[in-house]
Amino acid sequence: YFAGKRRYAQHIVNKEGVPTEELDIKGMDVMKSNMNPMYRKFGESILLDIMYGKTKKEIDTKIIDFKKSLDTVPIKNIAKPTGVKNINKYIASKPSSGQIFSKLELKCPINTKAAIWYNDLLRFKKLDKQYPCFTEGDKMYYVQLKDNPYKIEVIGFTGNDPEFINEFILKFIDKDAGFNSTLLNKLQGIYEDLKWSFPSLNTYVNKFFLF
């Protein structure tokens, strides 16, 4: 599969006369190191399907079914893994009396926002002595959120968090936004390379046309 200069995938079955099973991928967005493992594995499987000659209809169905399956997978599997960077640089001021959240500098990166807002919520709930706040260099996950009472767009977590954080994420996680920002455009790029039309992922549209 050749998508352009330094962008390709190849399934190697013979190397210098020796039978082998290797997948060599270079420059493909679906395999970037900052992708979460589940999305990266799915992207790899799509490339393999293309190289093995599966039809567009088969690959369309696989993508539609994968999107539907996100409703039932553990949140950690679809969250984005990242590191905590410049957390103090982007705090313009700590929360003042009566406020929950810090004031942020302009152009604060989304993962930094997620870490800062997690810390602010821990302090607001007086749980920062029981659970560690994020500091520079920590590893974390973050998810995008639907409209919520705190009016924040993302939140970080570790997987070992207070119950109110777990419940908040479970109630307000925006799985569609996470899929769209992490994987959708990369799959669409593959379809554009192949001159294929991308399948509709809107289940409501599909139901409408059943009438």
pLDDT band at 211 (very low <50, low <70, confident <90, very high): very low
pLDDT digits (tens, 9 = 90+) for 91-130: 999 998 889 999 999 999 999 999 999 999 999 999 999 9
- Give the pLDDT mean for 189-199: 92
Are 117 and 144 spatial neighbours (Cβ–Cβ below 8 Å)?
no
Its pTM surpasses 0.85? no
Alpha-carbon gap, residue 64 to 198, rounded angstroms:
10
**Average pLDDT, whole number, for the chain?**
90
Alpha-carbon gap, residue 113 to 23, rounded angstroms:
36
Alpha-carbon gap, residue 69 to 45, rounded angstroms:
16
pLDDT digits (tens, 9 = 90+) for 13-36: 899 999 998 888 888 888 776 778
User: Edge-to-edge, what's the strand order for the sheet holding 7-15?
Assistant: 2-4, 7-15, 18-26
Contacts made by residues 19-23, CB under 8 angstroms, sequence distance 24+? 23/47, 23/48
Instruction: Give the pLDDT score at 210.
Output: 46
Alpha-carbon gap, residue 23 to 55, rounded angstroms:
20
Which tokens hold the place of 53? 């000659």
Alpha-carbon gap, residue 70 to 130, rounded angstroms:
32
